[in-house]
Structure 1
Amino acid sequence: MSSSSPAPQPQHSPLAQVQSIDEHAGLSATDFKLAFRNHPAGVAVVTADAGDGPVGLTVTSVFSVSAEPPLLVFSISGTSSSAPTLNRADTVVVHLLGADQLQVAKLFATSGVDRFADTSSWSRLVTGEPYLPGAPVWIRGRIINRMVAGSSTVIAVHALQAHISESEAPPLVYHNRTWHHVGEHSRLEG
């Protein structure tokens, strides 16, 4: 559970900011959402603390980018209540949820609630980040870049530490505006 090399330092300036896109050209927001509605995505919770208390949110945009160095990305909406903290944080913890954590996913997707009220469901790593010990997989990482893209921010993370449970719990998946799990019932070929 340690890093083998120093992590790149986060870049807080929008070096790769998407600019000069004609918002009225191209696919409508409604059609774009409809196109992606049938594209399943794994469910994760991202937590952070920039010094003023823990924040967290449910995301379906996490994906790996590189194994060497170990990099992942996710995106957050600019309207998310967690966005200000995530835009100031140096590190995050990304929790890849199992199907048995549907209530956790719903909690962190709900606006206007104290997602950390149940102190028995979360703790802090020795490095200070809030995390969910019940997640089958969590990855602590240092933010190395942020890219403003439309009304969202894409955040690149260098993975520093991970906990990977030996449990073979099916993953939680979001598809067509509802929750699913992947398992033997969904296997197409062996």
Structure 2
Amino acid sequence: MTGTVEFREAMRQVASGVAIVTTLDGDQRYGITATSAASVSEEPPLISIGINKQSWICDALMRSGRFCINILGASQLDVARAFSTSPRETRFESGEWTSLTTGAPVLVQAPAVFDCELFQAIEVKTHFLVIGHIVTTRTEDNVAPLIYRDRKYVTVGEMQA
């Protein structure tokens, strides 16, 4: 039977794109680094993200009902680190930010942006599987993705080496 330690060890081997999940609750911006964004449906356009119920963004996202998944490029490693380790009040000092339809913070020059309204939140033990209805997307061409694997941020080229 697989326990927590074995599960974590196995999941370390799964390469994932890196995203910054953001929301705006009132005039307060919230954001975290995440690696669990996944397509759910094309029609209607839905995307999912796993959010720990204890995360500082969780309550704000549920209250606001809007969020943005900002997929990071290889040159945005500093943003990934800032949103995973910096104090909450300084996270948005890293990167350049704007907004689209929902008002949730959008990272300028992110390879892909999914601006969403909350479609459904499914409670799954310690997390919510948050499903967003995508209302706006934006993409940047020719931007290599940032990838997270085995507790390290890497690029596609580094994975091939």
Using structure 2 for the length normalisation, give the TM-score: 0.90
1:68 Cα offset (Å): 1.5
Q: Which amino acid aligns with 2:53?
A: G
Contact 1:125 1:131 in 2 (8 A): yes
SS of match in other structure, 1:87: helix
- Alpha-carbon distance in structure 1 between the residues aligned to 2:134 and 2:125: 26
1:184 Cα offset (Å): 9.2
Structure with the largest fraction of helix = 2
Say whether residues 1:171 and 2:142 are aligned partners. Answer: no
Given candidates 67, 89, 93, the residue that maps to 2:68 is: 93
> When the two structures are aligned, how many residues end up with a matched partner?
160
Q: 1:116 is matched with which residue?
A: 92
- Alpha-carbon distance in structure 1 between the residues aligned to 2:158 and 2:152: 19
Q: 2:107 is matched with which residue?
A: 132
Using structure 1 for the length normalisation, give the TM-score: 0.77
Q: Which amino acid aligns with 1:162?
A: T
- Alpha-carbon distance in structure 2 between the residues aligned to 1:87 and 1:63: 19
RMSD of aligned alpha carbons: 2.0
- Alpha-carbon distance in structure 2 between the residues aligned to 1:79 and 1:139: 23
- Alpha-carbon distance in structure 2 between the residues aligned to 1:180 and 1:93: 23
Percent identity of the aligned residues? 33
SS of match in other structure, 2:75: helix
Unaligned runs of 5+ in 1: 1-25
Contact 1:170 1:183 in 2 (8 A): no
Say whether residues 1:57 and 2:32 are aligned partners. Answer: yes
Contact 2:100 2:136 in 1 (8 A): no
